[in-house]
Each structure stands twice: as C-alpha cells, then as structure tokens.
Structure 1
C-alpha cells in the first residue's frame, strides 16, 4: 500500500494495514543520547520500548552506508508480534483505543541529558560498585565548562527554566545549562530524603548521579511498571537497601513528566501554621498537592505532608498537570488542555491584536489525532491554546496559524548521534499514514544553541508568540507530547474529559512576573546577554520556525532510512 502526502511517501505492507492502529507512539525516552546510560556493547539493562531497543541495537551493531544502498528497496516496517506487546510504544492512544490497551506499560530511559522538575526531582542512594572504567565515564559525563552553578541557580535565570547539558557540542553552548548532578549538588543544602518520579528508571545510573555522601539517604521511586517490568525494576534495586517503591496504579494508561523547571529553595513554615499558609499567588502549592493526591497512594502521604509544611509563596509559575481518568463538572477544568484554557482565561493579560497571534507547539512524539484537524487538533485543543484573558474574544480558529515543530529525517540524520537519536522520536508509520493532513503543519527542528552539531529534542513546549516572533503571551514547558492521551479529549458531547496519562508542566505568564505589558520579549540568542533578563524569555529553539520544504519528511522511527548516511556513516534499519 502506498501512502503519499505533501511531506511523506512510504511503502507499507498489507499486513500493516491491519496492524494495531491504536498502539501509536507517544512516549519517547528522556534523552536523545542512548549511550549515556550504558556502553554500546552492553545495551540497556532494563525493559524499554521497541524504538529504544532499536536505537540501542543500531548503536551496538550499526549498518554502514554504502553506495549500493542508494537504490536498495526499502523494506516495510515489521508488524509488532503479539508477544512483544509490552515492549511497544503504546501510550499515544486515540479515542478508538480499547480500554485494555491501557494496561500495557511502555518504558522510558532516564538519561543524563534530562531530569525531572523540582517537585519531581526529589532524590536517591546506593552502594557504588563501579569499575574504574565506569568511574572514568561518570567523570566525563559530569565534566563541564567552568561556571558558578550557585550563581546560576540563585539569580542567573529569573524564570528557573534551564536546558540540559549535552555532550559533544562546544562548551559555550552548555553555558547556563544544568547536569542532573548540578541539581543534586550539596549547594542546595543537606539532603535528608528524596523521591524520583519518572517513566523508566535505571537504578544504578540514577544512584551514581548523587554525591557520595547522599547515596544512603532514603529514596522513593514512583513508577508505573507492571508484571515482568516491575520485577526487573525491583531486581535492579536489590543491592540498595535504602530504596523503596510506589507503584502508580493506572486503569487507562501511564504517562510521565520530564519538565525541567527548578523551584526556589522553599523554607519551612513556623510550627502551627495554617493549612493555607505558604501558598503562592499562582496556587502552586495546592495544585502540586492535588497532583500527588491523584496517585491515591499512602506512600506519597509523607511527601504531601512535607510540602504542606513548607512556604511555596515565592513560586511564580502555574502548575499544569494531567492525571488518568474521566472528568465532569468542575473537575473537567482541573487537568489537561481544559486546565490550560482556564488558566489563560483567568490570568492572561489582554494584548492588542493578540487574537490572530499564532500558536507554536514543539514535541518529540505524536499520537493519533483523527482523520482531519476538526477531530481534535483544530477544534478543542486549539481552542484551549488560543484562549485569552477575561473579556477577550478569541478569533475563529481557522484564522490562527499553527506551527508544529517536529524533526525531519535530515534533522535526525545530521544530529550528534545520527539515526539512533530517532529512537527518542517514536512517531510510527502506523500513526503517520492515518494523518497525512497533519504534516502540512510541520516545521523543522532548529536550535541555534546546539551549534554546528545538534542534539535531537526531548523537551516539549507550547507558546503564543506575536506575528514577528519577538514577543510571547505565554510559555509552557511540559512532559505532554502532541496526543489526546496526554492532553485529554472531550467525550459525551463535550461534557466529559478523558485523559490517559500522567503529565506535568509549568506555565509562565507575564502577569505572574509583574509585567504589565502582558508579554515576554523573546531572547534572540540563548548565548547573548539580555538587556533585561527579567523580561526576556529563553525560547529553546530558533524563531520563526521554518516550515518543511517539498522534500522534507517527518522522522518515522519504525521504517528504514537508507538513502543517505548519518553523521557516523550509518543507515537506519530498525527491524
């Protein structure tokens, strides 16, 4: 079967026509560089997605590009065998997905290039039995350009929004970025205990990121593993007596959060303070507690109580989360894209002529969005993205440009790691061939901060820029990819919102930072000094976004790419 559109032409075997249409890839790994966790020879020591396994396989046994491959016939993507259900990318589900599909859990790699938000970035331990080679590798991972981390964290970034350090680029481009070891540094004080929320945990690697003196501190790992995957995770932690677990019991599907935002250091409230003490104007404290309570886990009660005892009044961002479930009435606006809509309507400042400003979404995975834009993207989802302050009437959605930033095949091919980086971008052929209409919205991934050699993104951001891309009405950094599973989809004639995944993000609104103008200025160059850093927001990719050209195709992870070599002289054959 031949599928062809403005930005894609793929040959698909007849067997794929009947492939599991709703096992679409939504959840990538937390980093673009798989080799950060394990040596190429060893491969991953944890269950992971089919895309991630393919990336590791190609790293360990690359297929070299030769001229003979230029005319080679591209074999179709292999249909996933039923016995491999637990290994597939299964979270980018659509409305048509069977309920029992949500019982399958996909995996995600925790990497040095990515870390959780501070509310999630709570900590770890364990006995370190690394070899000299492993110690050397860890030293290299932690090495970075000279910078005063404390100065950076205490005032160098007024928004608390940081990018993650990347290996293999000029050190100047890592200026202002953070390694997970920076976040776990004693500079923040003496660690008492910690919790880690993530999608897939490599326990030994995680423990190594902590300073030696903190590796025996109590560590709680919150996860969504089941059956064999859960057993493997528990086995990883056996050498570490201080590690305990909390399983997120999910009836629909499990997602996760990987935002990179750092809170201030919150002081403890005086003893006897009221329950409402320590709240911020953005209600961040109560929203964070509500999010943790959604796990319905007695194990997290200790952390909820701990947050209650602290003063979070300095927080100037809004928490925006998703939790699995079906919500009606006032609960419908508590999570997902309807939560974004509510926040923008209530707290965004009116800006002249803002009604026609475009919206920009940038992500690393895509779910099933329907047969055309009216099914979700250009209807309920866009209505939330274009919501404005009280009394402001949004323009008709068809008049609001939408720019979706997602890497092309060449973006991946020319990246630092080459084709294996595509294992973190699990947009599947089964999903893509059903929504060729979507690709007309696509724009290339371009990040000046990456320098001549660029890394593939795992960050997810959404914003409302002006037509000249010099101002932003709001900016959201989140774990939510472009999918109904993450953002939610309306059911029952709009009376119910159904969400499948856990997600977490923070929304930056100018009003919360005391800007009467109603907008941030866009920081033109992430390396440049801003005249006023308090009003210049560091957008992590180039603006304006560049639309796909006639020869550009979106990266599809589960089909071969053999027409040109990547930066290591290899091809991509995932099967």
Structure 2
C-alpha cells in the first residue's frame, strides 16, 4: 500500500507549501504534482494488464475486490453478440447523432457499451481521421502527457504542427520541455500568470482541417487516467468553413473567443487569431464563458468570470414571466473547492449566486442552491478506488475554515448514464424548473471549479473583478436552439450528465478530502489511503 501513500503525499506537498505562504491558493493546483511517473504501479497494472473475465457482466464475483483487480467485465468482452457490435457508431455518426447540443461525456472503460455510444466520445474519436485531413492543431490544458497525447492522434497526423498552451509557473515546466524535445513539430506556448496562485486551467482544442476549423471545449487533462474511468464533459463544434467575411454566430462566439485569446498577449497565438477570424462561426449556438487572470474594470468587467455569465443570462435568457422560474433550483457540480470565506454569504450565496440566478427580469428570487461533490464513499467505491481522489484536491486546511458548506452538498450519482462509479472530473452549472425537474433553463459545462480563483471576486466597491486563473466553458441557452426551455424527459431531452434531483448528503456522508487518511474500509481494488505515512 506504500504506492498509495507516496501519491497522496505528493498531492499535499503543495498544500503544505501553501500553509507556509499563508495565502489563498486555488485547490485545483494541488493536483499539479501528479505526473505519469507518480501514479502508483498498481493503477497502471489495472489499466493495461487486466484480463477479460469470460463471464462478462454476468460474473457473480464482481463485488470481490481481488477478482475485479485482476479481471475486467466490459460488455464488449467475448460474450458480446455480433448484433451489439454492429450498433457501434463511427466518430462522425456520434457527432451527427449528438445534434443539436453536441455535448458528450467521455467514454468509460468497464460500463455497458451502449452507454459509450450515445452522447459519449473518446479522445481518439475526437481526433479521428474520419473528420477530415488535419493540417495543424493547438491544445490548451493544465496537465500534459505528450506521449499519451500523440498516441491519440492518427499516425498520419502525428507530425503535423502542434501548439501546446500551458501555464508558465508550473513546477514541471522543465519536464514539459523535456517531453516535447524529441518532437520538432511541437511548439510550447506558456500562458502568463501575473496574479499569484492562478493556474492555466483551460481545456480546449483548435483542430484545423483542410475543410475548416473545429473548436473543442472540455474538462479533461491530457493524461491517460483522465480519459479512462472518469466522467468528463466535452462540447464539439461543427467544422466551421473558411469564409471571405467575418461571419459570426448569434451568440458572438467568435468575438468572445478572440477576446479570450487576446488576453494571452503572445505572438504564438497570432496564427490562430487570424485563422479564427477567417472562418464562419454562424452554425455555433452556444455562448463562451471564460476567465482570464487580471483585475478587470470598466468596459471589461463583464467580459470574463461570473460577471460574464451574469450578463449573458440577463441578455439572452428570454423566459415568460412565470413565478416557477424565480424559484427554480440552481445546481453546481465540480471536482475541486477553493477557499470561499467564513460563511455562505461571504461570496457563494451573495456574489456568485447573484450571477447564477440572473433572469431577464428584475425578480428578487432566492432559489435553492444544490452543490454536487463526491463523498468519501463515492470515491471508495469508484472504478479507480481511492486513487480517484487524487483528482479531487479539496484539502483539510480549506475545509476546516468552511464547515458550513456541507449544508449545500449532494452526492455524485449518475445511474442513468451508468457513471455513478466513474469519478467526476466534469464541472457543470445549471438551473432546472422545480416541477419535478422536468425542464432545464440553462446549462454550462466548463473547466471552472467552485473557487474565487476560477470565477473572480469583486473588489473596490464592485468596480473591479479580480480573477487568478484561465478557464473556459460553453453555455447552452434555449433561445439559441429555437426553444423556450430544454426538456429533460422526452425524445429531444438535453443529455444531462447526472441524476436529478440530486441526493443530499446524509449525516454519515463526508466530502472527500485529499489529505485525510481513509483506512476504515478498503476501496474497490482492496487498497487504503494514507497520505501521512
């Protein structure tokens, strides 16, 4: 079990340093020390060397940790019928069938294959040659395994120019340069982080084909474990054709994307700025909600962070004057929690909730706020076991200062997508009607966790929004899909990632905290978690 201990210890090294500095740090940075080399050997063994159980899903020993540590039970094993295999969709078919939302979860190893077909896609499928001839690409992210990333590209595309946009203050910058040194086609672009303890947390792809430009905005790091047995969110644009004019979408997607890219202030992105300008984005129907480091004032105060979300909801959420909308619950779901203040009204239910509850009316509603974050039991029983908690870096120092937060917390549960055991790294925010959660008012998938660093905090009598990190997401509003509301229970349902309504923590439930010891019960691989030994 020492492998677990080494990994957990490496995760909290940054936390220890943060205590010495006595300053706020976005808890997502705790995970920055994980690399391919630091993942325990037993995880690699489970990922690459498991045998397929001949009994498949019917195996009665699936609850036996020793058996599941050695054998996988996918529906795509030898017992799968030819009929089931024929149901599999090609990458192009998957995207076609995802219309109009084009929103996916990542495929998950170990669940029934049909749950990996509809509104689910893998990294290899995103980069498949079936989409056309790729000429070059750019990958924006927080964590990279370059060898893993190149393996996901088709062999004929691996020598195409690739720009890697990463944070410039990461401890492993040298490691990233070393990883890229054998590949002359790769160029590194460091993102400036002028405010301490911010991160380059954005997860986005630019894929330039001979036929046009595709934008992918998602929630996964570019490392193998993020794409195997976790729940991730992915939005994939159409391939936007080249144009002689500056065709824009009805959501101002092009303008907002260029505003975001401009904040990097680097020549290495000039090619992509020019390329974005040259392509027709009129087919895109989602809004960009992004964050960039800085103290945003004047005309720029509503361009980024939670104020951008507030302004967009106010401008575009055209709802009839119906009281049920005023009380419609708001749900936030995330994989990390920052320092939110000594009470709920410090930031969460005052400043942040004011943005989330914005309608296009002057209502003074007080909607219920429900927050979804994995319990210790969620992590223990996940496909990965306790190691999944390495991607949920909520630490004890922060948690002890905001014990009030547990009153808002709800379990991770995704039975209808068969992902209750696929630990969530996805981050989403949404609003549902309170008539048994039948309809959706809006939906946001983003890289932004629940933190001031990601969303921003108002300063100087609300005249300035201070943001530490780079983040990006896409917002779905019914009006842009020619709908008044998104249905959740019919043939055109929005593909919601988790079960509704959320299940509130019981008295025995505790939020996962990465630097706590868990030795009462073994996880799904028979292991314990001890970060201190």
List gaps (5 residues or longer) in structure 1: 1-14, 30-47, 63-139, 524-529
Q: Distance in 1 between the 2:482 and 2:458 partners? A: 34
Q: 1:539 to 1:512 in 2, by over 3 A?
A: same
Shift of 1:229: 2.0
Query: 1:365 and 1:421 mapped to 2: Cα distance?
Result: 13
Higher percent of residues as strand: 2
Distance, in Å, in 1 between the alignment partners of 2:306 and 2:430 is: 13
1:49 to 14, 18, 32: 32
Quick check: which one's helix share is greater? 2
Matched, 1:370 2:352: no
Quick check: 1:254 aligned with 2:199?
yes
Shift of 1:156: 3.4
Partner of 1:477: 445
Is 1:557 the counterpart of 2:501 in the alignment?
A: no
Q: CA deviation at 1:151?
A: 1.8
Unaligned runs of 5+ in 2: 1-15, 46-76, 78-84, 204-217, 219-233
Where does residue 337 of structure 1 map in the other structure? 306
1:544 to 497, 501, 505: 501
Output the aligned Cα RMSD: 2.5
Residues 51 and 210 from structure 1, CA distance in 2 versus in 1: closer, same or farther, beyond 3 angstroms? Answer: closer
The match for 1:511 is: 479
How many Å separate the matches in 2 of 1:223 and 1:359?
32
CA contact (8 A) 1:221 1:244 kept: yes
**Higher RCO (C-alpha under 8 Å, 6+ residues apart):** 1
Matches within 5 A, 1:146-545: 146-176=88-118, 177-226=120-169, 229-252=172-195, 253-258=198-203, 259=218, 260-270=234-244, 273=245, 277-351=246-320, 352-353=322-323, 354-389=325-360, 392-396=361-365, 399-449=366-416, 451=418, 454-467=421-434, 468-515=436-483, 517=484, 519-523=485-489, 530-531=490-491, 533=492, 536-545=493-502
1:206 deviation in Å?
Answer: 0.6
- Report if aligned partners of 1:486, 1:500 keep a CA contact under 8 Å in 2: yes
Whole-Å separation in 2 of the counterparts to 1:371 and 1:283: 38
Against the structure 1 CA distance between its residues 551 and 333, is the aligned structure 2 distance closer, same or farther, given a 3 Å change threshold?
same
Contact 1:337 1:384 in 2 (8 A): yes
User: What's the TM-score once normalised by structure 2's chain length?
Assistant: 0.79
Provide the C-alpha distance between the structure 2 equivalents of 1:25 and 1:54, rounded to a whole number of angstroms. Answer: 24
What is the CA distance between 1:225 and its match in structure 2?
3.5
Are 1:55 and 1:421, in contact at CA under 8 Å, matched by a contact in 2?
no
* Deviations 1:105-125, CA, capped at 9 Å, x for gaps: xxxxxxxxxxxxxxxxxxxxx
Distance 1:475 1:420 in 2: 29
Aligned length: 444
Deviation track 1:479-499 (CA, whole Å, cap 9, x = no partner) reads 000000000000011111000
Query: How far off its partner does 1:149 sit?
Result: 2.3
Alignment check: 8 A CA contact 1:25 1:426 kept:
no
Relative to the length of structure 1, the TM-score reads 0.73
Give the whole-Å Cα distance in 1 for the aligned partners of 2:455 and 2:370: 18
| 8 A Cα contact 1:28 1:425, kept in partner | no
1:269 is paired with a residue of what secondary structure? Answer: coil
